[in-house]
Chains A and B, each alone.
Chain A
Amino acid sequence: MEGHFNEPWLDASAPHGEVVLSCRARLARNIAGFPFVNHATAAQRKELLRVARQVLLGGGLSSGMIWVDLGRATEHDRRLLVERHLISKNLADSDIDRAVAISGDESLSVMVNEEDHLRIQILAAGLQLESIHERLNEIDDHVEGKVDYAFSRRWGYLTACPTNVGTGIRFSVMMHLPALKITNEIDRVRRAAKDLHLAVRGYYGEGSESAGDFYQISNQVTLGRSEEELLGELKDKILPRIIEYEQQARRVLVERNETLLDDRTQRALGILRSARLLGAEEAMKLLSRVRLAIALGRLPEIDPRVVNQLFLQVQPAHLQFQAERPLSAEQLRVTRATIVRKAFA
């Protein structure tokens, strides 16, 4: 892996950065003439890798593209990529020939031989769905100029799972909703999202808990509506309401429970600045409180970008990367506490 990281998608000054950590758009695409990944032979999957590599690294896509052969990568490197949201857990854990192409700034990643032949993703800080969709579309056009996609006039882009068929597009937005969590209103958001056919997941996707009060909201419908309609619905109708709901809950917290809020913040900071052993879940919980206080202008001395980065840096593979060696569970907690202490010193 590279010796340093680039995280433009953790920029705290991005649009709606106080509530929206990052946004993502991804396309599921399959190459015509090949069975889907689950039904392809080993030779076909190898050929898919060869074709994908040629297209993705052949230039014209993004600067500094790198290719990671996940079959050869170490378990640690695969975890690191999962933690950085560049590959899915499924791809990391799979035992077939698979790879990922990543742009130099990590804003573009293309998984090869995941559930579909190609899963093209763009990641950006804050709420910038329109611009990431535009870029994703350009990349899709570029790839499509080199290979024929599996497409049918009735069903659109054909995918291994019919829940992705049609546009094959999934927009998702990572929202930080601590005030709605504190005021117990988060379940209302979950219910409303469900009624609107949106999925609500945690920081690490399907099945992950809402660690650090992060909720990833994404469209589930991919067929019968255009990309623009799906985007418009999220961007203009749904997300502004959730953002306003969270902001309103934050205002209520300040108005009615100012002392309690400051107490929670300072206790969190106290632990983060002095703990010698820190679990991942506890760190995420405390960092969430600090992030909320920063957004409310109550901790002007702390750089919000540092906190955004810490959510990532406290994850196990990141800690091992930092330490440059494998760490035991105990050593992970020690290293985590050390990193956090230094960040808030």
Chain B
Amino acid sequence: MKCDRCNKPAVVHEVTVKDGVKTEMHLCEEHASAKGIALPDETPINQLLTQFVICKENRPARSRRIRCQTCGTAFASFRRSGLLGCSDCYGAFEEHLGPMIERAQNGGTSHAGKCPRRGGATIDQQLHIQRLFKELEDAVASEEYEKAAQLRDRLRDLNPDPTESAPPPAAG
């Protein structure tokens, strides 16, 4: 595709949707930089993210009104700056933020890494227990009963309450 202003190949393609009307712009490196547009490789990710939101936003009236009750940050302000105001903004804007984060994070929708020990100790333990349960199910499914018994014992150690202990592996 050629640049809108000259015959050189276009390297920047901008699609803007405003009031339901789509406009396209294609520019070569020279004209893009003359217009103050950074080339794709140099565009900071949060700017890309914000641009993406602007393009995707087709319910402006509704989302613009949303505010975080804790810090007062408006969703519209996040759209401009790419920055949230406080931890609670994640919950306040979840409906709009969720799909954006998923896109920006290449499909990542929830945390799969380290968890804090302090304050988050219970969370860490819950995740650990979940993993052990999963391993236990797999062990039973593949008839590795010795391993299953070991996992059951580990789960019992982690959860001393007998009413909530891991179910014993299926008989076999």
Contact = CB atoms under 8 A, between A and B. Distances in A.
Interface in B115-129: 115-120, 123
Interface string B15-52: 00000000000000000000000100110111001000
A74 to B, nearest CB: 27
A160 B115 CA distance: 18
Most-contacted residue by chain A among B44, B84, B111 (CB, 10 A): B111
Contact of A158 (B49, B90, B106): B90
A223 B108 contact: yes
Interface string B134-147: 00000000000000
A286 to B, nearest CB: 24
Nearest to B44: A206
A298 interface: no
Contact of B83 (A32, A156, A160): A160
What is the size category of the interface that chain A forms with chain B? 35 or more
Contacts, number: 134
B118 A148 contact: yes
A191 B120 CA distance: 39
A162 B119 contact: no
B7 interface: no
B100 interface: yes
A36 B85 contact: yes
A225 B115 CA distance: 13
B42 A207 contact: yes
A155 B85 contact: no
A30 B71 CA distance: 15
Contacts of B114: 137, 140, 167, 226-227
A227 to B, nearest CB: 5
B163 interface: no
Interface of A: 30, 32, 34-36, 38-39, 115, 137, 140-141, 144-145, 148-158, 160-163, 165-167, 169, 190, 194, 197, 199-200, 206-207, 220-227, 229
Q: Which 5 A-B pairs have the closest CB atoms?
A: A224-B108, A156-B111, A223-B108, A39-B85, A167-B113
